[in-house]
Structure formats: structure tokens, C-alpha cells
């Protein structure tokens, strides 16, 4: 299991994470910021996810691509 958090207030909606890793990240329709897809949210928190290991590479790629480095990954 991979833990991922998004410091959502710092997101600038560059679209990189949800383009590279749409299985884990999506754009919130209300505030346009990145969030974890509902399936992997922890306690309904859009900023926190627990994601299966097979998606680790995709999450890391998305985190590396974030221009404001607001995606933090722990495994």
C-alpha cells in the first residue's frame, strides 16, 4: 500500500498528475484542484489516499511532475 497526500491549497491545477495517473488523481469539479479519486480516499478526505502498490510508479511519476511539489508519497 502506498500513502499519498496532496497539499491541495498549493495545487495550481496544471493538470499533470491527473493526466499522468488518472487511476489515482482527478480534478475536483468544485474547486478545480487535484484530489485522490474516491475509491482510494482515506475517510473521505480528498487530500489523502491509500493506493495499491501496483500504482506506485504512476503516483511517483505524477509526484515528480508536480511543478509545485504538493504531492507527497510514502510507502
Interacting residue ranges for ligand SF4, rule: CB under 6 A: 6, 11-17, 34, 65-68, 70-71
In the complex, minimum distance from the CB of residue 11 to ligand SF4, in angstroms, rounded to a whole number = 3
Nearest to ligand SF4 of 8, 42 (CB atom) = 8
Eight-class DSSP state of 30: T
**Which residues lie closer than 8 Å to 31 by C-beta, 6 or more apart?**
8
Report which of 51, 67, 39, 61 is spatially closest to residue 5, judged by C-alpha positions: 51
Eight-class DSSP state of 36: E
In the complex, minimum distance from the CB of residue 74 to ligand SF4, in angstroms, rounded to a whole number = 16
In the complex, minimum distance from the CB of residue 38 to ligand SF4, in angstroms, rounded to a whole number = 17
Amino acid at each position: 500500500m502506498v500513502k499519498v497526500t496532496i497539499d491541495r491549497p498549493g495545487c495550481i491545477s496544471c493538470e499533470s498528475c491527473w493526466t499522468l495517473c488518472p487511476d489515482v488523481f482527478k480534478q475536483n469539479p468544485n474547486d478545480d484542484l487535484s484530489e485522490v479519486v474516491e475509491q482510494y480516499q482515506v475517510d473521505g478526505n480528498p487530500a489523502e489516499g491509500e493506493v495499491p502498490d501496483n500504482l506506485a510508479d504512476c503516483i511517483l511519476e505524477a509526484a515528480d511532475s508536480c511543478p509545485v511539489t504538493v504531492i507527497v508519497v510514502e510507502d
